[in-house]
Structure formats: C-alpha cells, structure tokens
Chains A and B, each alone.
Chain A
Amino acid sequence: MHRALVDRAKRGDAEAFDELARLVGDECMAIAFRILRDVDQADDAVQSALIAAWRDLRTLRDPDRFTAWLHRILLNECYAEARRRRRWSANIRLLPTPGNDSSDVLTVNDRDQLERAFRRLTLEQRSVLVFHHYVGLTAEQVADRLGIPVGTAKSRIHHATIALRASLEADARMPANSRGRLA
C-alpha cells in the first residue's frame, strides 16, 4: 500500500518517511493506547516505534510488509514503555470518541468495569485482544503480526477473553468501595 513511500524512505528520504509516518501514526496510536491504557505512554511508544522504524528501515526486505513490520516494532515499544514506566495510572474514564461507529453504547458502569478488567490482563493478552477485536485480524493474522505461533495466538485470545470475563464477573460481585488501584 505504501510501497513507493517505503522505498523512498529506505533510501534515506526523511520527507517520504514523514509522509509515511503520518499515514500510519494514527493507527499506531490507537493500538498503543488500547494496549497500554495510557495516552502519554502510548504517545511515547509510538514515537519510539517510528524512530526505530526509520533507523532500521533498511532491514525491511519486503516493503509490502511495512505495516506488519511496524506493528511488531510498536508492540515491542509498548512492552518496553510499560517496563520503563511502571507507574500507577489514573483510572481514566473515557468518553466515546466522536466518529466511532459503535452501535453498542457502553454504560458508565460497563466501561469502568471493562477498564479495570482490561488493566488486569497481561500486556500479551491485551495485545492479542487489540489486534483481534480492534484491528480486526484473524487469529492467524494476529500470529503473523505478533510473530507467534497460530496456536499461541488462538490460546492467548481464548484465555484473555476468559480472564476478562472472569474479571468482569468478579468485579461485578465486589462492593464498589473495595475496588483497588489498577495499573
């Protein structure tokens, strides 16, 4: 899709890479935020990923694989960012973003419960759910994108869903004033 730009950027054309970054940066931000659940961390992870992509672009053999390659870098940066900044994050209440074509509207309570439950998942579990449910990849595509075996991808999606459901159920049973910090 971005082959010409990738080719130019591989030749050291910063202008082309800037254009390329602006084509893919928003999606990277969306993915990073949904994994990290923190705007600042996601922003830092995306910047680091784009800079790493620029630095290592010449190692990309197939320009048509740019997006998949970049997502792999982004995922690594998300993990690194989470390791670097193990800080407690405020439990941000997110309002639906205008333009999201979501036929289902979550209640405030649903959203809070999901936010808490999602933060309890490991980064690996969050990643497969984001690529599967948000990016819309099949389990096979998730495996390819994350560089893991298909069986592992399927297993992670299954277990992440189970864990999320269990967490939601447990959360629903807990009194509201006993819910602790989540990071």
Chain B
Amino acid sequence: MTERRDTERLISTFLAEGPIELADRSYEAVRDTIERTRQRRVIGGWNFPVLSTSAQLVFVASAIVIAFVAAVGLVGPRDTTGQVRPAASPSPLAPSPSPTPSPSLAPSPSPTPSVSPSLTLPPRPESPSASALSLPLDGGSLQAGTYQLASGFPVPLTFDVPAGWTACTESVVEQEVCASADNPALANAGVSFLIVDNVVADPCVNEGLVPQIGPTVDDLAAAIAQLDGFQATAPVAISVDGHSGKELVVEAPDSSSCDLFTWLTANRTNGVGVREINRVRIIDVGGVRVMIAAAWFPVGQSHDQPSALKAVFESVSFPPG
C-alpha cells in the first residue's frame, strides 16, 4: 500500500521531469503574431461591446449621414439668400483659450498652450490639414508630427504627437493616441477623440442612462460631472478656435469593487481604472458634439497632468468656427 507521504513524494518527483523550455520557433511564432495583432484598447476603459451587428450597421449609416451633414456645414453655411459662403481656411495657429477648472484637480490654468521643453515637437505647419499625417485606424507606432483623425470621424481636427507615441484607436468614433511607454509618468496615458452618445447610469453597471442624455455640450458635461463615485470639477466654458465648449476634470475613485464604466460611444461602453484622471473637453463643432479626453494616472501624490500629455491635448485644433 502506498502511503500518502510516499504518493506526494512520487508526484513531486514525477512532475519534476519533462520539458522545461519553450522552443525558439514557438517564441518566434508568437512574436510574428503579436506584430500583426492589435491590443484591445483599454486606456480610459475596457472593451464592452454594446451593439449587435445590425445596430452597428445602423450606426455606420448614421455616421455617414453625420459626416455628410458636417461636411456641408464646413464647406460653407448658407446665408440668408441661400448662397453658400466660402469656408474660412483652417488656422490651427490660433491659440486655444485655456479653461480654468478647479485647482484641486485641474493642472493647467496657463492662459496659452504650453509645450514641455523636454519634447521635440515639430513646428506647426501653415496648413496642417493639408500636410497632416493621417492617424491609422489599425494602430501602430507614430512618427512625430501633426496628425488628423482617420477618415470617418465627423469633425476635422489636427493635433501634434511627439516621437514614441502609438495609435491605439478603438473605432472611428473613438480614435486615440497612446503615450510612449518609456516615460513612467505617462504609464497608461493617452488622448482620445470621441463622439459620446450617453453616460452610464451607474458606473458599476454597463448600461446607459434612460432616457439618454440630451444632445448638447452642457448635457454631456453635466452628466460626466455627476458620475456616481467620481470627483469632478465644475464644467467651465471654453472656446477652441472659435468653437464653444466645456471643460472639466474627472477623477475615478481610489478603489472599486466593480469595473468602472463611464461614457458610451456608438459601439462600446468606456471604462476607467481606479484613480484614473480624465481632463475632458467637450466642444460643439458645427453642431457635432466632440469630446477630447486626456487620460492619465496620478504618480505618487501628484495628480498633475503630465506635461507631454498636456502638450498633445492642448495642440488639438479645429477649423475656425
């Protein structure tokens, strides 16, 4: 009869035998695959698909209509006689008036956009939309430069990206650039450009408010500011390139026993990590409500927005309103 202790000794000895290495060809196969495989986007949240395929088709059709309407609006609004006025040329050199969010969370009271001296941002071109690089939808490393969002986003905008950042877009209506991994202060930081339709009723539950929030900038800003369990600054009025909007800073709680859902785009619910901070600008551009969110995590006791992230966030420019 085999005794218990003998059995355990036999098991341990038996399990000590056998292969202990993964073959080189297997590592190479993994390497080849990951270079062709996009990571699931999580900055500012996890993937929570909310639409069926048919609903997504409806969304795509809607996006096309919105894009068309926006394009008509940008080409030139009609005057009282019904004639189309020529559109003003984009002027991204115009400084963006800075918001004045609460000093307890908002780190950027400076009146003009500031760029960290440690960054090597290229000079703004005269006509960024003409020479701007297009942000790839399928992710990947980015060279330093001025970018425009991938085709399909209903509002044209440009922004500057320093070297080392990556594209980490979730969808056409949730495009994003992620910060370089080389800087610990920028761990999990990024700037996203979204068309947000709703916010969650309860951050612990992946369900939007019913009825859905209203269509205005104020509706969305107020709803985000009221996310249960989050700290938020009062939304303040801003103007970016002549387009009015609101800015606020929202910070997730220090701990949570549930996933923290936040806002919904047409194809997923966004979520955030504990302690994640988002500086949010919501801007009305020709009747389209655009949200820009810079996400980062506090480093030690500092909740300040990292300067490199701030530079990207504040470089966002629209065609003049």
Chain A residues with a Cβ under 8 A of chain B? 7-14, 16-18, 21-22, 25-26, 28-30, 33-34, 39, 42-43, 46-47, 50-51, 54-59, 61, 94-97, 99-102, 104-106, 110-111, 114-115, 118, 129-130, 133-134, 161, 164-165, 168-169
Q: Contacts A8-B181, A16-B181, A26-B21: A164 and B11 contacting too (C-beta < 8 A)?
A: yes
Q: Which of A7, A12, A97, A106 contacts B14 (CB 8 A)?
A: A106
On whether the beta carbons of B31 and A14 are closer than 8 Å, the reply is yes
Q: What residues on A are CB-neighbors of B31 within 8 Å?
A: 14, 18, 21
Q: Contacts A7-B181, A11-B179, A54-B39: A129 and B22 contacting too (C-beta < 8 A)?
A: no
Q: What residues on A are CB-neighbors of B8 within 8 Å?
A: 133, 161
On whether the beta carbons of A11 and B178 are closer than 8 Å, the reply is yes
User: How far does the Cβ of B240 sit from chain A's closest Cβ, in whole Å?
Assistant: 28
Chain B residues with a Cβ under 8 A of chain A? 1-2, 4, 7-23, 26-27, 29-31, 33-35, 37-43, 46, 139-141, 166, 168, 178-182, 184, 187-188, 273-274
On whether the beta carbons of A102 and B40 are closer than 8 Å, the reply is no
Can you list 5 pairs linking A and B with CB atoms under 8 Å apart? A14-B34, A16-B181, A39-B19, A51-B30, A58-B42
User: How far does the Cβ of B202 sit from chain A's closest Cβ, in whole Å?
Assistant: 20
Known: A12-B178, A33-B19, A100-B16. 11 other contacts (CB 8 A): A10-B187, A17-B34, A18-B27, A18-B30, A47-B33, A51-B34, A97-B17, A101-B16, A114-B11, A161-B8, A169-B2
Q: Which 7 A-B pairs have the closest CB atoms?
A: A11-B181, A58-B42, A8-B181, A29-B22, A104-B13, A25-B22, A134-B15
On whether the beta carbons of B29 and A118 are closer than 8 Å, the reply is no
A110 to B13, CA, bound (A): 10
Of all chain B residues, which has the CB nearest A113? B10
A106 to B6, CA, bound (A): 12
A165 to B4, CA, bound (A): 8
User: How far does the Cβ of B26 sit from chain A's closest Cβ, in whole Å?
Assistant: 5
On whether the beta carbons of B10 and A7 are closer than 8 Å, the reply is no
A51 to B41, CA, bound (A): 15
A133 to B7, CA, bound (A): 11
On whether the beta carbons of B19 and A14 are closer than 8 Å, the reply is no
On whether the beta carbons of A12 and B168 are closer than 8 Å, the reply is yes
Q: What residues on B are CB-neighbors of A61 within 8 Å?
A: 273-274
Q: What residues on B are CB-neighbors of A100 within 8 Å?
A: 16-17, 20
On whether the beta carbons of A55 and B40 are closer than 8 Å, the reply is yes
On whether the beta carbons of B18 and A94 are closer than 8 Å, the reply is yes
On whether the beta carbons of A46 and B181 are closer than 8 Å, the reply is no
Q: What residues on B are CB-neighbors of A58 within 8 Å?
A: 39-43, 46, 188
A161 to B2, CA, bound (A): 11
On whether the beta carbons of A114 and B18 are closer than 8 Å, the reply is no
On whether the beta carbons of B17 and A21 are closer than 8 Å, the reply is no
B8, B178, B180: most-surrounded residue (chain A CB, <10 A): B8
Q: Contacts A30-B19, A34-B15, A58-B41: A161 and B168 contacting too (C-beta < 8 A)?
A: no
